[in-house]
Amino acid sequence: MPVLTRPRNDPGQYDDLAAEWWRPRGAFEPLHWLAKARAALIPAGTGVLLDVACGGGLLAPHVKTYRHVGVDIGESAVRIAREHGIATARGDVLRLPIADEVADVVVAGEVFEHVYDLDGMVAEITRVLKPGGTLVCDTLADTWLSRFVMVTIAERLPFVPAGIHDPALFVDPTRLQTICKKNGIDLKVRGLRPAISDALLHRVRLRDEVRMLPTRWTGVVYQGLGVKR
């Protein structure tokens, strides 16, 4: 696992780790599993799918019928996502370079736990989403167990790059639902966990992919599915 030297949650870390986006068993391997689970919530249809904080474009293999547009703050992420077939633009999630009400679907995967202005980001998502459009998201819960699992344990295994998360920014699911409702999005949430057998086999290199399974418990990782009123 590459060693990071920047402050926690510094967006520049993703430029430092640019080679890891698609490297087999690389630092971002778990993000591929989450992207697949995220894609399962995308409704069947056509139109524009806006991938907010698209990173290196890990959702690309799972988006077939939509026009896939990605926005990310990282120069290298935008380039890599474009190489994987996504129409990309560089921009801040708090000032999306997208016109009002153009997206049929907005996907915000593993990004809410990185922003300092959650209200502002949800407001931007609402602005660009069409009435009746769908929000698909996943993030890390603001619980002691989530901080212990995703920071204390995961960084020591190592399972995620050290310093990639600031646990102070983890998001309580009820808080996220409240912010979404205030902005006109009715959000339902459910937990997400790795399949234990897959994780054990992956650890001893007998399995390449770990399935992420839905659960009612939202204490560590959780998904959200919402519709703009």
pLDDT of residue 5: 75
Name the residue with higher pLDDT: 156 or 92: 92
Maximum distance among all alpha carbons in the chain? 48
Q: Which whole number is the average pLDDT over 182-203?
A: 96
User: DSSP per residue over 168-218, as a string?
Assistant: GG---HHHHHHHHHHTTEEEEEEEEEE-HHHHHHHHTTS-S---EEEES--
Check if CATH label 3.30.230.10 holds for domain 12-228.
no
Interatomic CA distance for residues 211 and 208, integer angstroms: 10
pLDDT band with cut points at 50, 70 and 90 for residue 2: low
Q: How many whole angstroms from its chain centre is CA 150?
A: 14
Q: Where are the domains of the chain?
A: 12-228
Element (H, E) at 90: strand 87-90
Counting Cα atoms < 13 Å in the Cβ hemisphere of 144 gives 0
Is the pTM for the entire model greater than 0.85?
A: yes
Question: Residue 137 — φ and ψ, nearest 5°?
Answer: -150, 165
Q: Which whole number is the average pLDDT over 122-130?
A: 98
